[in-house]
Structure 1
Amino acid sequence: MSPETFLEYSAVGAICIMTVSMIFPLLRLFRGPSLPDRVVALDQIAIIIVCIIICDTIYSGMSSGLDVALVVSLLLVIGSMIIARFLHKRRSDND
């Protein structure tokens, strides 16, 4: 088995595992008792999707997927900061 074949099989296996691992954050997203719990679950789902994009890039061999993963990751960081600021402002307004 060549290293390229092993890497492709590993990428497919990782994609399958990550797809299954999205079940628990989805449950937390829909059942979450509070808004911060749902935000964390949404961030976790987005990170898993970025990892799936990276594994798909490894499998397909096209490097453009890494650019997509980088842009999505940057948007996730900015979005998380915006949501954290909103939750902090909302909490301070209630006090």
Structure 2
Amino acid sequence: MTVLSTSVLSLAVNISLYIVAVAMLFSLYRLLAGPAVPDRILALDTLYINAIAALILFGMYLGSSIYFEAALIIAMLGFVGTVMLSKYVLRRDIVE
């Protein structure tokens, strides 16, 4: 890679990190001030997705692959958590 493309990539990752941080703040606001439980579940799911994006971007920024593995773990836990919360809202019982 040339120096120009490396600096452009670094700039794009930095700008993306700030944008994802703002999106996380918006999701956190909706999680705390959501008018209904489904809105809060959706905000929590969005917060998981933003955390995954932030970890991947931070891993690109540092050049480390450990952050990608952490993002994969958060993705799996986020999916299971969203399914459990949705099941609880629908039936008021998690285990059938």
Specify the TM-score bucket, using the shorter chain as the normaliser: 0.7 to 0.9
TM-score by length of 2: 0.85
Q: Which runs of 4+ in 1 moved over 4 A?
A: none
Secondary structure of the corresponding residue to residue 22 of structure 1 = helix
Structural RMSD (CA)? 1.6
- Structure 1 residue 90, shift from structure 2 partner: 2.5
The residue number in structure 2 matching 1:30 is 32
Tell me, yes or no, if structure 1 residue 18 matches structure 2 residue 27. no
Which is further off, 53-62 or 1-10?
1-10
Question: Unaligned 5+ residue runs, structure 2?
Answer: none
Identical-residue share of aligned pairs (%): 29
Number of aligned pairs?
91
- Structure 1 residue 24, shift from structure 2 partner: 2.2
Question: Unaligned 5+ residue runs, structure 1?
Answer: none
TM-score by length of 1: 0.86
The residue number in structure 2 matching 1:87 is 89
Q: Deviations over 1:12-71 (max 9, x none)?
A: 110011111223222211111111111111111121111010000111100111111011
The residue number in structure 1 matching 2:43 is 41
